Amino acid sequence: MSNRLLTPGRSTQLRQRHGCLVDQCTSHHKGVNAMKKRYSIAAPIALAGLVLSGCSASVEPSTETGAAGAGCDTVDASIQAILDGEALSEGVNGETPVAASTIPDLTDEQVAEIRALDATAALVIQLGGNDWSNAQIAGVTEELDRLGIELVATTDAQGDAVKQVDDIETVLALEPDLVLAIPLDPVATAPSFRQVGEQGAKLVFIDNPAVGLEPGVDYVSYVSADNYANGAIGAHLAARGIDCVGEVGSIRYTDEQNIAVYQRYQGFVETIAANYPDIEVVADRDIGAPDFAGNAERTASAMLTQYPDLKAIWGFFDIPAEGIIQAAKAAGRSDLVVTTADLGLNIGVAIASGELAYGTGSQRPFDQGVMEARLGAGALIGLDAPPYVVLPALAVDQDNVLEAWTEVYRVEPPQELVDAAQ
């Protein structure tokens, strides 16, 4: 596997951070009559170091037949360490992540100054119509409204990079003061995004910047989930769901230049390798846009045919995970464990009902949208921003899915999810 996005030293540090904590272990795995642990929802995200004294990132394989595999006694402690510790992701240009919680809100005077500008903004989305995008739009819109900035356009590339280039041109014709955007293809869209700054507008990237653009020059900042951590949580949850023993698969995005989804994949496979010697990633496949669910279903179906003993499959966000679930149903594999890196409604319902989806390392798209709009608005009045801002990971399983929904979307869970959790 390529480690292009993480230097060897950084990768080692990341593995050590979310490896075992021998001082705080809670035995917890499927098949053991133990109560589920409720993970801390409002986990602190200050950049304070987590001491992992007396702990090694490697563990010995289990030799006892039928027993839980090595590493299962530290699964929950490892997840909690991620929630309590520093961000695990690194910026695309090697930037140190800055926790969103450390960035102060705008003062009343600054808000008044921004409102006096009568500024306009545009939002460029890569794939709309899903819970993540809807929450992003809601967070951005709420913050822009608070700051008196008119949102004059919201575009949806529908998973098509060529369309996104056209969308950017459409947005630029409106001459907005601020553009918030998530590049579908960070290479193909880079020349178009460069034009945003050349036209005099401020640009804030969502999840990952376009390739070749410089923070503080071509764009203000990019704001992201802690994607490596969310992938790592998906690995720990998958391990717990299969007693930390057996063959697993992963489905990742084709484009490694998309650092957000690639770091989730790195978090998953590296966490399995560092913590669970009795688990082997035997199937590692990539899929492309725009039919993420359909492509994941076909890929997962092929995996299950080739590897009939496969116990778990991880998908890089919730829509591919939905496809994995459909493949498992078609194959009669109700025992398959599915984990992912998002909390959409369909995956939430599946987690709540115990139907194949075991858990997820969730993003916080509403809060992310608020932060993106705030940093962009601040730039309009000359405020500096860190080049890379990160929101903390969130571990979600059947035990805390309702509480997690409110944390992720800042609204009460829908009745469908409540009913599934009964």
The pLDDT of 173-177, averaged and rounded, is 98
Q: Where are the domains of the chain?
A: 1-422
Strands of the sheet containing 279-287, edge to edge, are 279-287, 246-253, 310-315, 337-340, 357-362, 394-397
**Is 90 exceeded by the pLDDT of residue 128?**
yes
Phi, psi angles (nearest 5°) of residue 95: -65, 145
The CATH homologous superfamily to which domain 1-422 belongs is: Response regulator (3.40.50.2300)
Nearest alpha carbon to residue 319 among 167, 83, 210, 158 = 158
Distance between CA 357 and CA 231 in Å, rounded? 15
Residue 63 has pLDDT above 90, yes or no: no
Residue 14 has pLDDT above 90, yes or no: no
Please return the burial class of 169, using the count of CB atoms within 10 Å of its CB with bins 0-12, 13-18 and 19+. exposed
Burial of 45 (0-12, 13-18, 19+ CB in 10 A): buried
Report cis status (omega within 30 of 0) of the bond before 290: yes
189-237 residue pLDDT tens: 999 999 999 999 999 999 999 999 999 999 999 999 999 999 999 999 9
How far apart are the C-alpha atoms of 88 and 10, rounded to whole Å?
A: 9
Residue 66 binned pLDDT confidence (cut-offs 50, 70, 90): low
pLDDT of residue 2: 31
Tokens of 333: 């594999």
Which residue reads 């640009």 in tokens? 203
Q: Which residues pair with 247 in a beta bridge?
A: 280, 310
Q: Is pLDDT above 70 for 89?
A: yes
* C-alpha span between 9 and 17 (Å, rounded): 13
Structure tokens at 195: 């034009």
- Phi and psi torsions of 222, nearest 5°: -125, 140
355 phi and psi angles, rounded to 5 deg: -100, 90
pLDDT in tens, 136-152: 999 999 999 999 999 99
Cβ neighbour number for residue 175 with a 10 Å cutoff: 12
| Mean pLDDT calculated for residue range 235-261 | 94
Amino acid 289: pLDDT: 87
Q: Does the structure show a pLDDT above 70 at 353? A: yes
Residue 332 CB partners (closer than 8 Å, separation 6+): none
Say if residues 342 and 362 touch (Cβ distance below 8 Å). yes
Phi, psi of 37 (to 5 degrees): -90, 135
Mean pLDDT of 73-90: 96
Residue 282 phi/psi, 5° resolution? -95, -20
Taken as a whole, the chain contains a residue count of: 422
Phi–psi pair at 63, nearest 5 degrees: -115, -10
- The rounded distance, in Å, linking the Cα atoms of 299 and 286 is 8
Task: Give the per-residue pLDDT at 144.
Answer: 98
**pLDDT score, position 258:** 86
| Average pLDDT estimate for 108-132 | 97
Report the predicted TM-score, pTM, of the whole model to 2 decimal places.
0.85
- pLDDT band at residue 3, thresholds of 50, 70 and 90? very low
- From residue 402, alpha-carbon distances to 39, 202, 409, 415 in Å are 13, 37, 11, 10
